[in-house]
Amino acid sequence: MEFVEVFDSPGKGRGLRATKEAWAGDVLFAEPPFASVVFDSQASSICHSCFRRQEKLQRCGQCRFAQYCDKTCQRAGWEEHKLECAAIKTYGKPPSENVRLAARILWRMDKQGSVVSDNQLTTLEDLEDHICDISEDDLKDFKVDIHNFLDYWPRNSKPHTVDSVSHILGVINCNGFMVSDQRGLQAVGVGLFPNLCLVNHDCWPNCTVILNNGNQSAIDTVFHSQKRIELRALGKISAGEEVTVAYVDYLNVSADRQRLLKQQYFFDCTCKHCTEKIKDDLKMAGAEVDGVKVPEEQVKEVTEFSRQKLEKMEKARIEANYNEVVKICRECVEKQENVLADTHIYYLRVCCTLSEVLSYLQFFDEASEYARKMVDGYLKLYHPNNAQLGMATMRAGVTHWQAGFIEVAHGMICKAFAILMITHGPTHPITKDLEAMRMQTEMELRMFQQNEYVYHSMREAALKNQPMRMMAEPTNEGIKNLFRRK
């Protein structure tokens, strides 16, 4: 490893630190998964080898479970799948994603050992499993996974003790990392990345983790180079400085982040942003009307109202009842107006949801208004090179373009491109798409500046000849929450 080394991080155990100076956008290391599997819920729509989303997939003729883009992907995935294939046939059905991943890990360990390359910095045996920290309720589910694994594990494979199986399942629970589809927009599976497991958390980190699926060429597919994570620097990192990533979204107040980290990763966060509650005041702030602050009691009342409505909104969203989602969000906005500040996280969540759902319903003018408010708030809260800020700015730029607001659209897309060049890099599919969009909006902006009437006439004619497709259906998955949650 050229850029990082293992060291004992004070109060955190093992961690990684930089061995030389790095700058924004530098890749400190890239790592393929030790093993990975498609989610149960995505098993019929995602290629089990390259993790691309496809409308038509070819099913494995043996187990009838694994599905592939074509023969090339099937051949590329056979080394990982062949033992799994026979096990599924014998077992009679595919087990859960946790059990499937644990089995793939153990099959690879049995064949190659727990260190499979010179670049791997730790053994799987040395990774934390936190089994002793699992809550009583979660422990019941954990024991079910162990039982199912032992039933699934083939009798002709090397036997493993309950303790060794428990360790691997525990490592998956607290160290599994989401694997995204080829566009990098939706988590479709989970994998184990040993080096990534060594990177400690900070709520205001100096690095970000991105899963880069590359160009998806046939050569990439054969050698699996498209399935890898990249640890990328967000700014200058000095030699000897610990490298960190955020396990949870910063768009939560300190107490909520600490609670989530304790619940999911079993440690107490003592980073500066938690101990000093940095930006908590902005995230729960009330508005100022004519220079006068809204009474604190009124802010609390509207905050609680928003929290309850957001729970109902989430339920309607899961049920794909988007008209109901819009109705609930508008009720929220009406209450929040002139009471909550533009940085209040409940206000921003409503703006985010409204912009996304209204875009899907093709109400682009209104969607662009809420998208702009969302980005304005994010800019005051997130790190300037935060991946979620870049993605939100990109979506807002596209929404403004769809609404015909070319000047704002181009500005936002340029800002998003600058962020994603750092967080995702120039070869990531999203960055490439954004570069094409940036060139298109630049051309359209020049046309607009030369003659607004001609620009709008040509745009209207183009849209009539080729009606704009529906936006992708709103989803809860995205770049955030890539670190796995049980």
Task: Please report whether residue 227 resides in a domain.
Answer: no
The rounded distance, in Å, linking the Cα atoms of 247 and 257 is 9
Q: Are residues 365 and 456 in the same domain?
A: no
Count of structural domains, the chain: 3
How long is the chain? 486
Q: Are residues 369 and 387 in the same domain?
A: no
CATH number for position 443: 1.25.40.10
Q: How far is CA 465 from the centre of its chain?
A: 36
Task: Please report whether residue 206 resides in a domain.
Answer: no
Q: Are residues 319 and 422 in the same domain?
A: no
CA distances from 417 to 186, 208, 401, 478 (A): 19, 16, 15, 18
Q: Are residues 350 and 415 in the same domain?
A: no
In degrees, rounded to 5, the angle at the alpha carbon of residue 415 between the alpha carbons of residues 411 and 418 is 140
Say yes or no to pLDDT of 481 above 90. Answer: no
Give the largest Cα separation in the chain, rounded: 76
Q: Are residues 439 and 309 in the same domain?
A: no
The rounded distance, in Å, linking the Cα atoms of 73 and 75 is 5
Of residues 421, 411, 427, 394, the one with CA closest to residue 234: 421
Given the structure tokens 């662009």, which residue do they identify? 368
Average pLDDT over residues 48-68: 92
Q: Are residues 177 and 313 in the same domain?
A: no
Task: Please report whether residue 199 resides in a domain.
Answer: no
Which of 149, 172, 192 terminates a domain? The answer is 192
At 126-142, the pLDDT tens digits run: 999 999 999 999 999 99
DSSP 132: G
Q: Are residues 141 and 97 in the same domain?
A: yes
**CB-based contact 187:202 (threshold 8 Å):** no
Q: Are residues 41 and 181 in the same domain?
A: yes
Q: Are residues 92 and 186 in the same domain?
A: yes
Which of 344, 373, 402 terminates a domain? The answer is 373
CA distances from 64 to 44, 61, 96, 100 (A): 10, 6, 16, 15
Q: Are residues 91 and 172 in the same domain?
A: yes
Task: Please report whether residue 2 resides in a domain.
Answer: no
Task: Please report whether residue 439 resides in a domain.
Answer: yes
Which of 373, 403, 424 terminates a domain? The answer is 373
Of 208-212, 221-225, 449-453, least confident by mean pLDDT is 221-225
pLDDT of residue 214: 54
pLDDT of residue 226: 57
At 226-272, the pLDDT tens digits run: 578 999 999 999 999 999 999 999 999 999 999 999 998 999 999 99
Range of the domain at 338: 279-373
Task: Please report whether residue 449 resides in a domain.
Answer: yes
Residues 6+ apart with CB under 8 A from 80: 35, 104, 108
The rounded distance, in Å, linking the Cα atoms of 177 and 481 is 9
Q: Are residues 350 and 309 in the same domain?
A: yes
Average pLDDT over residues 80-107: 97
**pTM of the predicted model over 0.85:** yes
Average pLDDT over residues 139-147: 96
Task: Please report whether residue 242 resides in a domain.
Answer: no
Q: Are residues 172 and 99 in the same domain?
A: yes
DSSP 326: H
In this predicted model, which residue has the larger pLDDT, 475 or 179?
179
Task: Please report whether residue 396 resides in a domain.
Answer: yes
